Amino acid sequence: MGALIGILGGGQLARMLALAGYPLGLRFRVLDPAPDAPAGAVAEHICGSYEDKAALNHFALDVSVITYEFENVPASSVEHLATHVHQRAPIYPPPLALATGQDRLLEKQLFERLGIGVPRFARVDSPAELEQAVMKLGRPAVLKTRRLGYDGKGQARIMEGTDLGAAYRALCPADARPGGLILEEFVAFDVEASVIAVRSRTGEVRTWPLVLNEHSSGILRRSRAPLAAFWSGAGSASTASLDEQATVAATRIMEALDYVGVLAVEFFVKEGRLLASEIAPRVHNSGHWTIEGSITSQFENHLRAVAGLPLGETGMRFAGAAAVMHNLVGAVPEVGEPTGLLGVPGCHVHLYGKSARPGRKVGHATVVGAPAEIAVRSEQLRSIADQYWQA
């Protein structure tokens, strides 16, 4: 009987991890408070709070390794598991990586310490410190919560004329704990990109090609890989340099955190240089294209890493290939219509079993092929996905 993998979180990422792991003979158990958690359709589902010690103990019973599908797992939950089950069931990625990925300030400080390019930033723990930070960084700037911000949530633009006191109170209300904000300089970037990397228990590192990302309303809308096939703004030589910069940055971060598993690093690309924005210590939305587009998907390699198995190759599935992935957000498309997603030649559709709701990721769709071959298909996919987009 294969190893039992415990996953904290039962969303679509846990669902795709399980689907990738069953061919390897692995079994899965998830802990999630939602009765209709998407992973519950494909894995044993412990329905309970992340802070319920009885639920945590039940979840951890007989698992071989523990991982997570999102970085906002309460630190107290991981501490409890680390204390009670760590010797027989390691936790990967390690708690230090989880703590760093939960805090935008810790992320930025890590980037600086490792010599990785990063936008200028300042810690903000009071309205007075916000005024000082704005004087230092200038306007426009972006004020963000240090924790629990994702898909554009927990942030505000600081423009000329912005009431700083009101901006501070909006993100850090009086009934919340004081402080906990960070101000970042506004970067007039050329494009946004990300690298997905994986590190094994033995320290082997592999990376997938750098990905070109497009966001709307703070939510990832489209990812295209490799970046070199879709963006020539920096020239071919500089594009190769960007790939090298991304690999170096991801490797330094994973080594510093003694990382095991898949890590995503998001960047701003500006004038041939990468500026690190944030990390995600887990499988990542911008890597969904790897299911069909690469030799080994991010989901399979994450499982290989945490379970102590050899890593798989991360190159494109065939030489010269490219992949385009669109998020399906808000409304669930009718895939069976002749003019729908399945009517796009070579389109691969993944629905997550979620009910429709504005801003909710309900699925994704991917096309793969030579860049010239998928140009038309990609636009067909974009047109259909845009019809259902509800941010």
Predicted confidence (pLDDT) at residue 235 exceeds the cutoff of 70: no
Question: Helix axis angle, 75-85 relative to 53-60, nearest 10°?
Answer: 50
Report the first-to-last Cα separation within the chain, whole angstroms: 43
Q: Can you list the alpha helix ranges (DSSP code H) found in 280-365?
A: 290-293, 298-306
The residues near 128 (Cβ < 8 Å, ≥ 6 apart) are none
- Dist. CA 171–CA 318, nearest whole Å: 47
- Dist. CA 243–CA 274, nearest whole Å: 9
Tens digits of residue pLDDT in 342-375: 999 999 999 999 999 999 999 999 999 999 999 9
Classified as helix, coil or strand, 374 is helix
- Dist. CA 349–CA 256, nearest whole Å: 37
Q: Where are the domains of the chain?
A: 4-91, 120-185, 191-388
Identify the helix (H) or strand (E) that includes residue 182: strand 181-185
- Dist. CA 203–CA 261, nearest whole Å: 10
Predicted confidence (pLDDT) at residue 88 exceeds the cutoff of 80: no
Range 191-388 has CATH code 3.30.470.20: yes
CA separation, residue 23 to residues 20, 45, 293, 304, 308 (Å) = 7, 20, 18, 12, 16
Cα-based torsion angle of the residue sequence 125, 126, 130, 132 in order, rounded to the nearest 10 degrees = -100
The reported pLDDT for the residue numbered 284 is: 98
The reported pLDDT for the residue numbered 164 is: 94
- Dist. CA 64–CA 315, nearest whole Å: 29
Predicted confidence (pLDDT) at residue 160 exceeds the cutoff of 60: yes
Which of 3.40.50.300, 3.40.50.720, 3.60.20.10, 3.30.1490.20 is the CATH number of 120-185? 3.30.1490.20
**DSSP per-residue codes, 47-76:** ES-TT-HHHHHHHHTT-SEEEESSTTS-HH
Tens digits of residue pLDDT in 8-31: 999 999 999 999 999 999 999 999
Task: Decide if 114 contacts 252 (C-beta within 8 A).
Answer: yes
Tokens of 153: 């949530």
Mean confidence (pLDDT) of the chain: 93
Identify the helix (H) or strand (E) that includes residue 378: helix 371-388
Predicted confidence (pLDDT) at residue 176 exceeds the cutoff of 60: no
Predicted confidence (pLDDT) at residue 87 exceeds the cutoff of 90: no
Write the single-letter amino acid at 107: E
pTM summary value: 0.95
Predicted confidence (pLDDT) at residue 148 exceeds the cutoff of 80: no
- Dist. CA 44–CA 56, nearest whole Å: 14
pLDDT band at 207 (very low <50, low <70, confident <90, very high): very high
How many helices (DSSP H) and strands (DSSP E) are in the chain? 12, 17
pLDDT band at 172 (very low <50, low <70, confident <90, very high): confident
Overall fold of domain 4-91: Rossmann fold (3.40.50)
